[in-house]
Amino acid sequence: MSLRINQTAPDFTAETTQGTIQFHDWIGDNWAVLFSHPKNFTPVCTTELGTMAGLEGEFRKRGVRIIGISVDPVESHGKWKQDIRVATGFDVEYPLIGDKDLKVAKLYDMLPEEAGNSSEGRTPADNATVRSVYVIGPDKKIKLILTYPMTTGRNFDEILRAIDSIQLTAKHQVATPANWKHGDDVIITAAVSNEDAITRFGSFDTVLPYLRKTRQPTA
């Protein structure tokens, strides 16, 4: 059965480039991004992991820990880091899970069941559905799920944008419109009456009876 939004993220024990972790303990009271890539020493993945390394400070500002995963062994991750630095200029300092028995990948629906029971002999073509992202809250619930095809590198700025929205809307009874960015106007949810909206937000613009916009709350 596929994982769903608001489901508790499956817990697991795994070997990483920073030692053995218990996933829920590793998250602690933070938010987390678990993102997978098809295979080490491949071009798109190299750019992605370097991009995440360059953005790690932005994730940290939002209270988000990041962790990567592939079916390659931990030793391979360590060797690959030099290539990532050469290609992107960034050092990968966040942990990378070595999931050579495919345990975590299957737990998170990152691979088809027929992919086999180990990473031995795998090629990038075997991993076409692996480029996945899970955003997990401090409550250990899944907040966002994204899956990209093999040939399409992810836009990690979009993941930061989505986290900004998720964190904002968890605090206030608002939603964010299409293409929203931090600082843009937000939408007041239907659960808030017009009278309550005045109390909460000061003022708002009624675009349609069911579409009310207001400034982004700052508190």
Active site residues: 45
C-alpha dihedral (41, 47, 49, 54), degrees to nearest 10: 140
C-alpha distances out from residue 208 to 26, 201, 205, 211, 213, Å = 45, 18, 9, 5, 10
Residue pair 159/135 in contact (Cβ under 8 Å)? The answer is yes
Cβ-proximal residues to 114 (8 Å cutoff; 6+ apart), any chain: none
Cβ-proximal residues to 116 (8 Å cutoff; 6+ apart), any chain: 102, 122, 126
215 token code pair = 């400034």
